Amino acid sequence: MSAVAATSWSQTPWTAAVAGLPDLDLLWNEPLSRHTTFRVGAPVACLAQPRSIAALQTLIGRLRHEGIPHFLLGAGSNLLASDEPWDGVAIQLGLCCGGIHLEPPRSGADTNLLRVGAGAKLARLLRFSVQRGLGGFEPLVGIPGTVGGAVVMNAGTQDGSITDVLDAVTIMETTGDPREVPKSRLEIGYRSVTLPEGSLILEASFSVKPTDPRHIRSKLRDAMKRRRATQPLGWPSAGCIFKNPPGQSAGALIERAGLKGLRCGDAEISSRHANWIINLGQASSRDVLTLVQIAEERVFEAFGVRLEREIRVLAG
């Protein structure tokens, strides 16, 4: 993914190349602030929503052939978009890859296979799991995002991660062809899953155990109670800004550096959880990024620890 300088989109040479593609919903000059949980971000030239896998294949092929900058936009829950317009295409998969399908029980198996499109929201997956009595997704309660983004980030909490129940992913390779990759062939790390270069996730399959819905609901309630007590869930944010260094807590390091409650404009390092930066109303991307950089510098100066970002920064 690359960022290019802002330009007048009426003169963007690639507009016609995208506008003429079939089975594709397009939003022009769409503010990214409407599509990120930080609620910040200037417009992207084009937001594309393919209505089928074939349309997605055609779109990706055209963008790559024409050299048009593009990126996948899930729920925008780990994205800090720039204050400057982005001259490229953001792609959302909710229309073409938003399904949830439970396979028939496998003979002799104590688990079921659940296939979920990359564009499906985690909240919808959790509701489905409760309704059908499928355990394993409880650690994801309250985490915004899509299934594809959650897999790539290996989203989770202290109670577990999404890859704990992952069975395989179906990816679209650079050729446009789909291919299923079993979990054993993936490089899974803390808050990361490495995919083949240039590929994207179309679908994830999960091995889940039939579980009493009452037990699932109880675990979800307990998890949300803990989150509400320790995290500023009522404010726009991207959740944790940094990954935890090995054996340490990023939030604790930031707090020990004396940064809890520090503000820049309408952005604040949360006084409830120092690894969260919240938007108090009209924060800019620059406000947030300034606090991110201050945290990185102060923690390194005080403890010699280089914090690794969990969020992505989209330059303008």
Catalytic site residues?
191, 240, 310
Let me know how long the chain is: 316
* CA–CA distance, 217 with 207 (Å, rounded to integer): 19
Rounded-to-integer distance, Cα 81 and Cα 39, Å:
9
> In the chain, where do the E strands start and end?
24-31, 43-50, 70-72, 79-81, 86-91, 100-102, 112-117, 134-135, 156-157, 160-161, 166-172, 178-182, 187-189, 192-194, 200-210, 237-240, 263-264, 267-269, 276-279, 312-314
Residue type, 156: G
Cα(268)–Cα(278) distance, integer angstroms: 5
Nearest to 80 by CA among 248, 220, 277: 277
User: How many Å separate Cα 135 from the centre of its chain?
Assistant: 22
Closest to 280 measured CA to CA, from 261, 267, 290: 267
Q: Which amino acid is at 166?
A: L
Radius of gyration of the chain (CA): 20
